[in-house]
Amino acid sequence: MRIATWNINSVRLRIDLVRRLLNEMSPDILCLQETKAPDEAFPDEALAEAGYGFIHKHGMKGYNGVAMIARAPFVETAVRNWCERQDCRHAVATLPGGTELHNVYVPAGGDVPDPALNDKFAHKLRFLDEHAAWFAERRAAHPHMILVGDLNVAPLEHEVWSHKQLLGVVSHTPVEVQKYAAWQQAGHFRDAVRKFTPASEKLYSWWSYRNRDWKASNRGRRLDHIWVTQPLIDRVTRAEILTHVRDWERGSDHVPVVVDID
């Protein structure tokens, strides 16, 4: 099974790029974040024409939104809301065999890394805490889980272009990294991508639009992740961040991440 995740930054604007990825990589399931489309406006027909007629979507107009696009039907689907908001950040699907797939879009958190001064940052920290508590309870009954998405945290030193300069920048602050790790540990999740790439090597999945030449400056961060629970880690046979997709015309500022699971 091949699973891909991609913050598409508007699925309707970039539907041709989605179709291109489906054609080139042939994932069994593609999880999208920041779809920015209410469910009734989602481009179902274009995806069905590409061979992906099973879509679990949870979207809203202009903001956020997650979707799962598959070749075959899901056994069961659900959505979850967090922090007393209905802002379309978490979709769940049960796969054949019982494995749960979670597609999550963590709030970015704004610019000021102080919850007392920045409501967006406070929301992000609460979102991470609520996920950690929920998955700590869920893991016993659901030992086989996969979690993908734009988690908006670059946890490791070599997952930002400058660890020293970004310690005070939202996405790499110590408090975010601590809460990210607590969530990962609560669900007994393992990092599927880092299984193949040691922590000493640089890995990025996002480059700002503000960089005129993203490749030359290479000021990236790894914000997009794929986790699997402990019983599944040995079944992950391949993982790749598709860096070249950042060069596609009118592309997202994120690139897809892909794993193969036996």
Mean pLDDT by 10 residues, the chain (262 residues): 98 98 98 98 98 98 97 98 97 97 98 98 98 97 97 98 98 98 98 97 96 92 98 98 97 98 96
Cα-based distances in Å from 108 to 151, 154, 222, 224, 258: 8, 11, 13, 12, 22
Q: What pLDDT, on the 0 to 100 scale, is given for residue 211?
A: 86
Cα-based distances in Å from 92 to 3, 103, 116: 14, 6, 32
CATH class, range 2-261: alpha beta
Domain chopping of the chain, boundaries: 2-261
Contact 45, 28 (CB under 8 A): no
Cβ-based neighbours of 17, under 8 Å, separated by 6 or more: 8, 245, 248, 250, 251, 252
Beta strands in 71-126 (DSSP E): 76-79, 90-94, 100-105
Q: What pLDDT, on the 0 to 100 scale, is given for residue 233?
A: 98
Total-model pTM: 0.98
Q: What pLDDT, on the 0 to 100 scale, is given for residue 191?
A: 98
